[in-house]
Structure 1
Amino acid sequence: MTENDLLYTLALHHAPKIGDITAKKLISHCGSAEAIFKEKRQNLLKIDGIGTFLLNGLNQKNFLNEAENEIDFIKKNHLKVSYFKDENYPERLKHCIDGPILLFQSGTINLENKPIISIVGARKITSNGIAFCESLVETLSAYNPIIVSGFAYGTDITAHKAAIKNNLQTIGCLAHGLNTIYPKVHKRYMADVEKNGGFLTDFWSTDKIDRKNFLKRNRVIAGISEATIVIESAKKGGSLVTADIANSYDREVFALPGRINDIQSVGCNNLIKHQRAHMLTSPMDVPYILNWELEKSEKPVVQKQLFVELDPIEKLIYNYLKENEKQQLDVLAINCNLPIFKVASILLTMELKGVVRPLPGKLFEIV
């Protein structure tokens, strides 16, 4: 879009009382943001759902001045701007009725031809939650997904760090402008995130950090991805809001179950109980449900290789399969006395080595 288009779109974007749904309706009727400001008031009032209360927000002349200042900030910091009708706007967000009309981004984000998942959860994540999150990202790295989260404490930063460790793109969706970072302690991770992806927000540099903005931010986390994964959650929390939004967008939701007396598992257990999320017991549940396939160049060679080196745990699993033939993932985990998520990760490694292969029904056998 031209700078003039951006100027008027920014002015509309920041107009009080006019949200993204109303803004899209006005743009659809008038053709552009500039045309909205130049259209006669009586004509705008004829649009279904547009009343005097909403239009009063368009009368402030200082909007264009504020928009000019924001354009200066965008230029100075070399930010990218995505308009909801542009090709560079995230494809899945285009199908969300309340998706932002503008997105600002920093870093090296590339959304082309890559699966995208969002990982959210408790800020006070447990050691078990951290271990599963790290195993999940490591296991899924074979599919080269983009990992999206909110750059907050706990689950969010664990997911971002795991993505960076596994050389995956990661995107932090922020609840404030790109002139600052919250929490401040996470500033040390910014360079790595921007090198391996970047940050997205629909907030201006002049917007204050406010609690309600974090809930608004969650629609971007849910809308940009094909699935949202909730690692841990108490009975209430922002991650449950994100899961609800994802469900409203008809996206897949996964939740990690936990013991019924664990406070940080109540939210996930409720999602599963009310059939609002798939039960996630293994990292491989994600590609199975989403029907992901490895790239041809990355597909395992399904033939037995001579002199393949196996570590002690891989040998344990291999010998069990050799003695008992094809087995299900949970049976393997129980009889080898290992966590299910750990066995799932090891099986994928062994599959890439060409010593085991998956079968329908979550069965595995040696090659």
Structure 2
Amino acid sequence: MDQNRLSSIALHFIPGIGGRTLRQLVTYCGSAQDVFRASRTTLLQIPGVGPVTADAIRQGRSWKHAEEELTRARKAGVSMVLYTDPQYPSRLRTIEDAPSLLYLQGNLNLEHKKIVAVVGTRRSTEYGTTCLESLLEGLAAHDALVLSGLAYGIDIQAHRLALKYGLSTVGVLGSGIDVIYPAMHSDTARKMLQQGGLVTENPFGTKPDAHNFPARNRIIAGLCDALVVVEAADKGGALITADLANGYFKDVFAYPGSIRQQYSNGCNQLIKAHKANLLTSVKDLEYIMNWETPRPVAVMNVAPAYSDYEPEEQAVLRTLWESAAPLMIDALSGRSGLPPGQLASILLTLELKGIITPMPGSAYRINMPAPGKSAAMAVA
């Protein structure tokens, strides 16, 4: 067994050592093994390490716990991924308080191209359910991964609708990976193992205690590209997760609702305070996230004929068509061979003709088919 890996896991089972302290210990000492080899005097010089923690490291009693945890993980088909492992999720690695150890189970890809987290009240209404179904149906065209917390209400509905529409879906737990909470969601969790999976930072057997859930929420916020709040009251986990996502510079969205509806108050306040983009359909998310509108399958391998446009305009239009996403001016200039000055004039002309649309970040995308022009299709 890799002794340095075992040492890293053993550090997790020492009370008082969280992710930040663990990374600080390893950075100061050189490796996890060297942390256990360090003298008490050396350990006490490290910020955040007091006498109790230093003595616990020196005693080395956590090694047995680490060995038992690894054995249990192997038997359960669970991966234990350290912060230093190449397979640690890159999105999560960028947040300051990232967990230093994750437990992963299932058929999940946390490097998925598009990850959308969905959170909301545990007491969802018919309005929230309708909004959620529309969202998930729209995300199916993007093959997005849907992330949530397996809780009552909006969370479990998001997982079930993701399964319904053939999307991968991942549940982030506030308990051990062997403790599904609430228990009545166990059947859905089992289905998710085939079409997504489960994630937690908590050791086997950890109960779903209240203090685990705010910590769980930071993983949800850290793993996603976009966070959608479907329904939320004035206070609650959904708003905590939205605040975390804003702090991690993630795009946050919220469905507006009636001012008389309790579970729209939180969403309305997020929008009012400019902490969330107003969401009315998946098109709003596509626009803000700069996700291209999926092309109909029937025309994926063909391009419109632009013979009635000027040669330089044709070059721009075909370049945009062939791109899988909107292009910024620099990229468009490089691919089309047109100098930026000339390109800017052409883009303005095409925008006025209604055939291209400007996007955030000085990017452009093509509309389909060209308004007022031939819709004849030719093999690209």
User: What TM-score do you get using the length of structure 2 for normalisation?
Assistant: 0.76
Give the equivalent residue in structure 2 for 1:8: 7
Correspondence for 1:289: 288
Tell me the CA shift for residue 44 of structure 1.
2.2
Q: Could you tell me how far apart the structure 1 residues matched to 2:154 and 2:59 are?
A: 41
Query: Is the 8 Å Cα contact of residues 149 and 171 (structure 1) preserved in structure 2?
Result: yes
Aligned pair in 2 of structure 1 residues 108, 208: CA closer, same or farther (>3 Å)?
Answer: same
Q: Structure 1 residues 206, 34: CA separation in 2 closer, same or farther (over 3 Å shift)?
A: farther
User: By how many angstroms is 1:302 displaced?
Assistant: 7.7
Sequence identity percentage: 39
* 2:268 aligned residue: 269
Match of 1:55? 54
| Other-structure match for 1:84 | 83
Rounded to whole Å, the distance in 1 between the matches of 2:231 and 2:3 is 45
Q: For the Cα contact (< 8 Å) 1:254–1:279, is it kept in 2?
A: yes
More moved, 122-131 vs 63-72? 63-72
SS in 1 for 2:211: helix
Deviation at 1:51, TM superposition (A): 3.6
Is the partner of 1:195 in helix, strand or coil?
A: coil
- Contact 2:286–2:293 (Cα < 8 Å) also in 1: no
Q: How far 1:111 moved relative to its partner?
A: 3.0
1:188/1:55 Cα in 2 relative to 1: closer, same or farther (>3 Å)? same
Contact 2:117 2:226 in 1 (8 A): yes
Alignment of structure 1 residues 327-366 onto 2, 5 Å: none
Q: 1:57 to 1:222 in 2, by over 3 A?
A: farther
CA contact (8 A) 1:140 1:284 kept: no
Structure 1 residues 209, 6: closer, same or farther in 2, change over 3 A?
Answer: farther
Partner of 2:138: 139
CA contact (8 A) 1:90 1:111 kept: yes
Matches within 5 A, 1:102-113: 102-113=101-112
Tell me how far apart the structure 2 counterparts of residues 167 and 220 of structure 1 sit (CA, whole Å): 24
Gaps of 5+ in 1: 305-356
Once residues 231 and 262 of structure 1 are traced to their aligned partners in structure 2, the CA distance between those partners, rounded to angstroms, is 13
Alpha-carbon contact 1:231-1:256 (below 8 Å) kept: yes
Contact 1:121/1:155 (8 A) holds in 2: yes
Who is 2:191 aligned against? 192
On the 8 A contact 1:257/1:269 being kept in 2, the answer is yes
Is the CA contact 2:11–2:22 (under 8 Å) kept in the aligned structure 1?
A: yes
* Structure 1 position 150 matched with structure 2 position 135: no
Does residue 68 (structure 1) correspond to residue 67 (structure 2)? The answer is: yes
- Give the whole-Å Cα distance in 2 for the aligned partners of 1:154 and 1:5: 42
- 1:232 alignment counterpart: 231
Q: Is the 8 A contact 1:105 1:201 kept in 2?
A: yes
After superposition, give the CA deviation of every residue in 1:107-162 in whole Å (9 maximum; x if it has no partner). Answer: 10123452111100001011110111111011011111110000111111111111
Distance 1:70 1:291, change over 3 A: same
Q: Helix, strand or coil for the counterpart of 1:143?
A: coil
Tell me the CA shift for residue 38 of structure 1.
Answer: 1.4
Identify the residue that residue 172 of structure 2 maps to in structure 1. Answer: 173
Q: Quote the Cα distance in structure 1 between the aligned partners of 2:112 and 2:156.
A: 25
Residue 32 of structure 1 corresponds to: 31
Residue number in structure 2 paired with 1:319: none
Q: One-letter code of the match for 2:147?
A: V
What do residues 184-207 of structure 1 show as CA deviations (whole Å, max 9, x unaligned)? 100111221011010001111132
How many pairs were matched up? 314
Deviation at 1:59, TM superposition (A): 4.6
Q: CA deviation at 1:54?
A: 4.3
TM-score by length of 1: 0.79
Distance in 2 (alpha carbons) for counterparts of 1:159 and 1:3: 39
Matching of residue 252 in structure 1 with residue 254 in structure 2: no
**Which amino acid is 1:133 matched to?**
L
Q: Whole-Å Cα distance in 1 between the matches of residues 27 and 130 of structure 2?
A: 47
Q: Secondary structure at the match of 2:152?
A: coil
Consecutive unaligned residues in structure 2, runs of 5 or more: 306-354, 360-366, 376-380
Bigger Rg over Cα: 2
Alignment partners' CA distance in 2, 1:83 and 1:294: 36
Within 1, Cα distance between the matches of 2:294 and 2:26?
40
Q: Which residue of 2 aligns with 1:205?
A: 204
CA RMSD of aligned residues (A): 2.6
Q: Secondary structure at the match of 1:76?
A: helix
Aligned AA (1:18):
I
The letter for the 1-side match of 2:173 is L
Moved more, 288-297 or 154-163: 288-297
Runs of 4+ in 1 over 4 A off after TM superposition: 294-304, 357-361, 363-367
Instruction: Tell me, yes or no, if the aligned pair for 1:169 and 1:197 is still in contact at 8 Å.
Output: yes
Rounded to whole Å, the distance in 2 between the matches of 1:282 and 1:358 is: 21
Are the structure 2 counterparts of residues 227 and 101 from structure 1 closer, same or farther at C-alpha, using a change threshold of 3 Å? same
CA distance in 2, matches of 1:214, 1:259: 28
- Partner Cα separation in structure 2 for residue 141 and residue 221 of structure 1: 20
Q: Is the 8 A contact 2:101 2:201 kept in 1?
A: yes
SS in 2 for 1:211: coil
Q: Secondary structure at the match of 1:89?
A: coil
User: Structure 1's 8 and 240: CA in aligned 2 closer, same or farther, altered over 3 A?
Assistant: same
Is the Cα–Cα contact under 8 Å of residues 122 and 152 in structure 2 kept in the other structure?
A: yes
> Residue in 2 aligned with 1:20?
19
- Separation (CA, whole Å) in 2 of partners of 1:14 and 1:247: 31
